Structure 1
Amino acid sequence: MPVAVARPISLTAAERHRLKKAAHGHKTPHQDRIRVQIVLHAARGRGNASIARETGVHLDTVRTWRVRFADGGLPALADRKRCGRPRRFTPVQVAEVKALACQLPAETGTPLSRWSCPELAREVVARRIAGSISASTVRRWLREDALKPWQYRSWIFIRDPDFRPKAARVVDLYARVFDGVPLGADEYVVSSDEKTSVQARCRCHPTLAPGQARAMRVNHEYRRGGALAYLAAYDVHRARVFGRCEPTTGIVPFMNLVTQVMTGEPYASAKRVFWIVDNGSSHRGKTAIDRLTKAFPNAVMETPVHASWTNQVEIFFSVVQRKVVAPNDFTDLDQIRDRLRAFEDRYNATAQPFQWSFTTSDLDDLLARLDRHTLDRQKESSTAPAT
């Protein structure tokens, strides 16, 4: 019988360059490297048997990739599409599971506060969406759309009709602009708030330092040593913190903090110092604004309602919570005061201004989304059947 002649392989300069790069690349998969080597050997006129011995693969494998490259070129070296195992679930079933995950369990009559993947899998079977399904399959489907129904975040719904202009002034101040005019070199922006109920919890057994393969261990039982309030004012653009500890919050403690800041330089001789505060009882409404202006004529207070997330001092408080307060193991309130004062000095020595990127355009987008959400909820309420 006649012997089959191996298919001749000829390469262009570009093909040879790409094949050599793939053959010697550190990130080339092993199976792709073998295919490329087969083609390169074939282009040098080597026989199939010789190539099989050189690459350590079966003779049929050499024939296959030699023929496929001769017929299709470089694209033919990739794997062909395979049908794979038949799908167990239809696209409709996948969509129904995702839709169920986007509903509150209470709305479906399930006595749960939020979904987990095992609970969703059980509910899918109970609703006969599918005969059987695993929690890992549900998790994989939800991951495709970044759905995490087991997580939640708290938020405050905005009810102030003047929220937009108030919040916009705060956002503009962070960009050193007020009423469309850039701030001068002698104008400052200070963000202020109170961190209430910082407790002194003296652990019944000493806290153990971390060790090899062991985290820090804090005893669960403790003795209460009282609580205090930590008030802080954060210069937004200079990244400088002024703090003080008080027995409680209120008008007098807040004005003590204001006096501490405004009697020092450069704020005492500044043209204007903008104080950004929340709507707390100690700095709420026109009375608080008049009180501040009477004590310090160059102070300007901005108090947007339901906008504590625009107050940059909250970011500093989160740093304090992570690095100073938690885990809470203090013998008494004096130890808390000393730790907070020492941390302020440490922070002011190295701090940089926060990279605030939320602009008035982002604010408008947020309010538009909230308006759409409100309208959708109103439509759902109006179309819901009476019970």
Structure 2
Amino acid sequence: MARTGRPRAELTLTDDERDQLERWARRRRSSQALALRCRIVLACAEGLSNKEVAGRVGASLPTVGKWRRRFLESRLDGLSDEPRPGRPATITDRMVEDLLVATLEETPRNATHWSRRLMAERTGISESSVGRIWRAFNLRPHREDGFRLSNDPLFVDKVHDVVGLYLDPPESAVVLCVDEKSRIQALQRSQPALPMMPGMPERRTHDYVRHGTTSLFAAMNVADGTVISATHRRHRAAEFVSFLGKIDAEVPDGLDVHVVCDNYGTHKTPSVNAWLERHPRFRMHFTPTYSSWLNQVERLFAEITRQMLQRGDHRSVQALERDVREWVRIWNENPRPFKWNKTADQILSSLARFLQRTTGI
């Protein structure tokens, strides 16, 4: 019976085209759409009809006809997707690169850091697009962080010593993180605070009257989070020796006491050393210089600042000291030790990576 309908265009392949189509069809990284198109063209090259090709590859007749026609018109290039309709992109790759280089390597003429508005003026890109590009590359010019590198020649040894106490404390001993939060101010706001209301935060005046200062001496047990504390109006070696005496009185006999503290001058005076000689169960472990982050009691000071001191209103030093003692008492009712996770080697590796990024050392 004679064939009816539109005659089918014959499709023949060169050896190079066949080889390329077969590679695209079986490559794992090829898109499924491209692989299907390659199988359609290969089947058409065998002389099969569009209906037979559709049955073999699992595609519709219009799809088979479309890619047969596209291949005959443009060969391998015809298998790629055509440009989609819509407005062409107005921000080119070169513009994005220029914005990123400016963000990382330049500063604006009249400011210390870039804002969206300043970068939009610099590049001609809209402020919203500047924000999207910064978010895509995780850049936040409005934020900053501080750091201070230790110059302690025994830095590595001290890190291993202190972190070793946290992760593997000695037996029959207690490890205490000790420090002083000095010059806590008793501040009285000039006017009473306005309480929080729906849609309105608490409001406090910016000005205040000073009524003196005190210092909080604290020793936090790293095992259970309990705190031994004392308040003193002055911050000298005599007060530190007195606080060591309080620790000695409250820690049960028969336990060694390992004290982690910083390099403040009052911790190393002759009077302190003489007291330590008379109390051999006390052993001092000093953190490296500029490394207060190694002392866990600093985290405790952050808690008391956030929870009580930051919004406090005290009309006398006595009232301030009373509130501080009450805060510590309530803390000890349900103490929460801070869990230390990083090993000394992990800390040193992290610092090494930071030095590599910042100084190239």
TM-score (norm 2): 0.72
Q: For each residue in 1:180-218, what CA deviation from the matched residue of structure 2 results, as whole angstroms up to 9, or x when unmatched? A: xxx21x211111111122111112222232222222221
CA RMSD, aligned part only? 2.7
Match of 1:234 in 2: 220
Residue 158 of structure 1 deviates from its aligned partner by 1.9
2:346 pairs with 1:354: no
2:262 to 250, 254, 278: 278
For residues 209 and 332 of structure 1, what CA distance do their matches in structure 2 show?
23
Is the CA contact 1:227–1:333 (under 8 Å) kept in the aligned structure 2?
yes
2:104 pairs with 1:119: no
For residues 370 and 84 of structure 1, what CA distance do their matches in structure 2 show?
45
Match of 2:140 in 1: 148
- Give 1:1-387 correspondences, 5 Å limit: 82=84, 84-103=86-105, 105=107, 110-122=109-121, 124-125=122-123, 132-177=124-169, 183-184=170-171, 186-266=172-252, 268-270=253-255, 272-284=256-268, 290-291=273-274, 293-303=276-286, 304-373=288-357, 375-376=359-360
State the AA in 1 paired with 2:156: R
State the AA in 1 paired with 2:88: P
Is the CA contact 1:232–1:244 (under 8 Å) kept in the aligned structure 2?
yes
- SS, match of residue 263 in structure 1: helix
Query: Identity of aligned pairs, percent?
Result: 25
For residues 289 and 213 of structure 1, what CA distance do their matches in structure 2 show?
54
Match of 2:56 in 1: none
For residues 322 and 62 of structure 2, what CA distance do their matches in structure 1 show?
79
For residues 85 and 268 of structure 2, what CA distance do their matches in structure 1 show?
67
- How many matched pairs? 285
For residues 248 and 319 of structure 1, what CA distance do their matches in structure 2 show?
23
Higher relative contact order (CA 8 A, sep 6+): 2
TM-score (norm 1): 0.67
Q: Which has the larger radius of gyration?
A: 2
Q: For each residue in 1:249-289, what CA deviation from the matched residue of structure 2 results, as whole angstroms up to 9, or x when unmatched? A: 221122222211122132x431x21111112121248x587
State the AA in 1 paired with 2:116: C
For residues 176 and 288 of structure 1, what CA distance do their matches in structure 2 show?
31
State the AA in 2 paired with 1:277: C
Residue 81 of structure 1 deviates from its aligned partner by 9.7
Residue 235 of structure 1 deviates from its aligned partner by 0.7
For residues 332 and 120 of structure 1, what CA distance do their matches in structure 2 show?
50
For residues 255 and 163 of structure 1, what CA distance do their matches in structure 2 show?
26
Gapped runs of 5+ residues in structure 2? Answer: 1-58, 65-81
354 and 190 in structure 1: CA distance in 2 versus 1, 3 angstrom threshold:
same
